[in-house]
């Protein structure tokens, strides 16, 4: 069984709290930077999806479902 004095224990505890605070801070920074990038990517993919759906609808109106299903 290892024995540790209270001074060492308090130093270890302070180091762990500092480490936890730094990791929390890093996580918050990473999330706040990533969020706008993810929102932009989502918006771009949504616009692509809308454009593709419009093309698909246009082809369906012009040629009908039989063309889409594979004549």
Owning domain of residue 53 = 40-71
1 in a structural domain:
no
4 in a structural domain:
no
> 38-55 burial by CB neighbour count: b if 16+ within 10 A, else e?
eeeeeeeeeeeeeeeeee
54 in a structural domain:
yes
45 in a structural domain:
yes
2 in a structural domain:
no
Q: What is the pLDDT of residues 15-65, one digit of tens each?
A: 888 888 887 776 666 666 667 778 888 999 999 999 999 998 998 888 888
25 in a structural domain:
no
Question: What pLDDT is stored for residue 33 in this prediction?
Answer: 65
Residue with tokens 């999330």: 31
Structural domain tally of the chain? 1
5 in a structural domain:
no
């Amino acid at each position: 069984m290892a024995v540790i004095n209270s001074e060492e224990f308090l130093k270890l505890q302070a180091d762990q709290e500092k480490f936890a605070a730094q990791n929390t801070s890093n996580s918050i920074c990473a999330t706040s930077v990533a969020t706008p990038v993810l929102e932009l990517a989502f918006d771009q993919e949504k616009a692509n999806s809308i454009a593709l759906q419009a093309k698909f609808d246009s082809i369906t109106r012009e040629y009908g479902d039989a063309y889409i299903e594979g004549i």
